[in-house]
Every structure is written in structure tokens, then in C-alpha cells.
């Protein structure tokens, strides 16, 4: 795997747990993140918890291309994760962008 710093495409998933399900979401993320890190085209994945809202988590993905991100979301691993995620998460936002710097 190459370094995340060299990736041109990044995605951010912002997850807000249902009230009272924060611990379950944390445990679920700890369980699935190692599997996600093995997805083709993923150079890196970081998970952070919001300091201002402890029910909110941010997942930062570094992809080889937007197509790799799309294949992950359309693939079997995400399909196996999605039902449990839907039970735990009140809000789920995903944004994919291209690195911009001067």
C-alpha cells in the first residue's frame, strides 16, 4: 500500500450515532475498520471522534480514484456493513473530493 499523503482523492464520511448508541457505534467501527482498510484502491483510513459532539465520528479515506470509492460503496463489504450502520447512525454524510493545493 502506498502512503495516504500521495493520494489525490479523499472522502469524508460523517456519522452521527442515534442517541444512546454511541458506544455501539464505536465498537462497530473498531470491528469493521480493519476490514475496510484492506479494500482495493484504499491508501489510508483514519477515524476520529468529534470533540464538540461525542456522538459524531469522521472517517477520512484516501483513495486511488473516485471509482475505487464508488466500488467500495457498491461492493459486498459495504453491503454487509450497511444494515448495522443504519441501525446505529442517525445521520450519514459522504463527500468525495480531489486534493487542491497551490
C-alpha cell at 14: 460523517
pTM of the model: 0.86
Q: What are the two backbone dihedrals, phi and then psi, of residue 64, each rounded to the nearest 5 degrees?
A: -65, -35
**In the chain, what are the domains?**
7-98 (3.30.70.100)
pLDDT of residue 4: 58
Residue 40's nearest CA partner among 16, 6, 70 is 70
pLDDT tens string for the chain (102 positions)?
445 556 678 999 999 999 999 999 999 999 999 999 999 999 999 999 999 999 999 999 999 999 999 999 999 999 999 999 999 999 999 898 887 765
For residues 50 and 65, give the distance between their C-alpha atoms in angstroms, rounded to a whole number: 27
Amino acid at each position: 500500500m502506498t502512503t495516504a499523503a500521495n493520494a489525490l482523492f479523499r472522502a469524508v464520511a460523517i456519522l452521527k450515532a442515534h442517541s444512546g448508541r454511541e458506544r455501539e457505534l464505536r465498537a462497530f467501527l473498531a470491528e469493521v475498520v480493519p476490514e475496510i482498510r484492506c479494500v482495493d484502491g484504499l491508501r489510508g483510513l483514519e477515524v476520529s471522534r468529534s470533540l464538540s459532539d461525542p456522538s459524531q465520528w469522521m472517517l477520512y479515506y484516501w483513495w486511488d480514484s473516485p471509482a475505487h470509492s464508488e466500488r467500495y460503496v457498491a461492493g459486498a463489504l459495504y453491503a454487509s456493513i450497511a444494515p448495522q450502520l443504519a441501525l446505529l447512525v442517525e445521520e450519514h454524510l459522504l463527500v468525495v473530493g480531489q486534493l487542491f493545493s497551490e
